[in-house]
């Protein structure tokens, strides 16, 4: 059985626009560039960004952003995780500083999203 992955890249400009002022953060811009390059030219042409900065940004954003901007952020996170290098980094992160927290925040977001749709 092979895993189900959702690798489709959403319209990045629209997703980042939904983030509001957070979308102007240089970390978001670098992740946008990474996703766009990987999608258009392949993974070999898309150098990895500072994943520890991305993880810290995500961790802080889940605690301070309004709920309306969390879905676009999770969508960007989903797309980055579809790259084996990124998902591997999160799975093997040294020091375990972000992994547990991101997983917990992601699950809480999914629970919140499900409750708001109910």
- What is the per-residue pLDDT for 30? 94
Q: What is the pLDDT along the chain (118 residues), one digit of tens a residue?
A: 665 566 678 899 999 999 999 999 999 999 999 999 998 888 888 888 788 899 889 888 887 888 778 888 888 888 888 888 888 887 776 665 655 556 655 665 665 555 455 4
Domain boundaries of the chain, sorted by first residue: 16-117
Tokens 């980042």 label which residue?
Answer: 16
pTM: 0.75
Residue 33 burial (CB < 10 Å; 0-12/13-18/19+)?
middle
- What is the per-residue pLDDT for 106? 64
CB distance 36 to 106 below 8 Å: no
């Amino acid at each position: 059985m092979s895993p189900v992955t959702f690798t489709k890249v959403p319209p990045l400009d629209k997703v980042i626009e939904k983030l509001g002022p957070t979308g102007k953060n240089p970390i978001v811009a670098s992740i946008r560039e990474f996703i766009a390059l990987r999608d258009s030219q392949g993974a070999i042409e898309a150098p990895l960004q500072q994943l520890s900065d991305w993880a810290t940004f995500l961790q802080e954003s889940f605690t301070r952003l309004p709920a309306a901007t969390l879905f676009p952020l999770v969508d960007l996170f989903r797309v980055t995780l579809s790259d084996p290098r990124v998902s591997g980094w999160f799975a093997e992160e040294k020091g375990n500083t972000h992994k547990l927290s991101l997983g917990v925040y992601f699950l809480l977001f999914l629970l919140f999203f499900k409750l708001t749709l109910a």
